[in-house]
Amino acid sequence: MRLFNRIIDKEENLALVGLGYVGMPIAVAFAQKGIHVIGFDLNDEKIALYKSGIDPTKEVGDETISQTSVEFTSNEKDLRRAKFIIMAVPTPVNTDHTPDLKPVIGASEIVGRNLVPGSIIVYESTVYPGCTEDVCIPILERESGLKCGVDFKVGYSPERINPGDKVHCLENIQKIVSGMDTESLAEIQDVYNIVIKAGTYPVSSIRTAEAVKVVENSQRDINIAFMNELAMVFDRMDIDTNEVVDGMNTKWNALGFRPGLVGGHCIGVDPYYFTYEAEKLGYHSQIILNGRIVNDSMGAYVANTAIKKMIEAGQAPKKSKVVIFGLTFKENCPDIRNSKVDDIIKQLNKYGIDPSVVDPWASERDAIHEYGVRLTDMEDVVDADCIIVAVAHNEFKVLRLSDINKFFKMVPDDEKVLIDVKGLYRVDDLKDSGFRW
């Protein structure tokens, strides 16, 4: 009998390794379909939260977590009871922008130590083409003493979850699947079809599936870099970038991208995985890396613009009180990994400015651990000289300019500085406000 059928019949278990923004929703989705799921993560604190019915990612919510049948564990030996294992650990980059494979290597070692014959391991972590076969499989073989293709099979299915997005969620996004051979591909496709309503899209090889992931995010990165470059030019021309984009989007083939800070664990990282492998093959990227340069510079650009406007307002920036609204890498999401708001903070620090940061979505503990930032409650913001709205959380989008005005010092309007990174306000309204913006 096929592994797929034994999983359906609850004769075999499915395991998720890595229970973050990607792995946890997958584990819950399979459990909701009656599959017995073992959810493994090294973080004992995270496991304790899940067991107590708390969802720190806010991806599925506390109620769903409290009702799920997922067996949450930090004991790696529990993985020995699973035959279908999905790897969903993060793959960040180092400070020199080279791939940091330590998490995926460590997860492969753990799974290898506990691998049983007849298993299928599917990697979802973003890697460069060839990494699964050249790096991960040898680790699995070394740690298990088993032979890939004989004792176990491997596949790759890139994650496409969009954190904070309640419309484009796991079940509604078509899933790329691949396997090392036709047999493993058939098993992997059938297992994922249990939870993917939109269906699966099989490709010919693991390397192709790996390439799909890094290329789709590199494409987005390049398009956003183009819009960021336009925004910097339009700023000098005194043209409203959003109005230009709105007009452009009336054409059928417009892509709808807008300028902004590009961080997070996908778009701000994946292009480097692609160019890393290309460099090893002797090809230097002409477009992708330049797009990264533009997007990586946006935090400093925002900070420098704020400094310029503070000087125009007659402020002494070093003595000014600067408040940043938003720390997470995107709106309505608690994920602060690789947030480009940190680049704004670091650039302001160079001018001797230690800004206050408000973010109702971010974890105070994570903010301190990742960036050394102590969050401020919005109710406690008073006497600001400059406000930078960096993330479009719903809590910020409802603020009118009259509400923003209450956070400033009692000084003439032209001495108040507002930097609207996300374009939440109409230019005509900003002009009428009297702020420096």
Return the active site residues. Answer: 266
DSSP state letter for 135: I
Beta carbons of 176 and 212 less than 8 angstroms apart: yes
**336 closest CA partner among 66, 88, 90:** 90
* Burial of 258: CB neighbours in 10 Å, binned 0-12, 13-18, 19+: middle
The side-by-side arrangement of strands in the sheet containing 322-325 is 356-358, 322-325, 386-389, 417-420
Please identify which residue in the block is written with the tokens 């993060």. Answer: 90
Other CB atoms within 10 A of residue 162 CB:
17
Beta-carbon contacts of 16 under 8 Å, excluding residues fewer than 6 positions away, are: 23, 24, 26, 27, 30, 37, 38, 39, 40, 70, 85, 86, 88
**Angle separating helix axes 364-371 and 341-350, nearest 10 degrees:** 50
What is the rounded CA–CA span in Å between residue 323 and residue 404? 11
β-bridge partners, 436 = 417
10-28 core/surface letters (b: 16 or more CB in 10 A; e: else): eebbbbbbbbbbbbbbbbb
DSSP state letter for 20: S
What is the enclosing helix (H) or strand (E) of 29?
Answer: helix 23-32
Tell me the DSSP string of 313-331: TT--GGGS-EEEE--SSST
Beta-carbon contacts of 4 under 8 Å, excluding residues fewer than 6 positions away, are: 187, 190, 191
Q: What angle do CA 100, 105, 110 make, to 5 degrees?
A: 145
What is the rounded CA–CA span in Å between residue 394 and residue 246? 21
Beta carbons of 4 and 12 less than 8 angstroms apart: no
3-state SS of the chain: helix, strand, coil percent to 5? 45, 15, 40
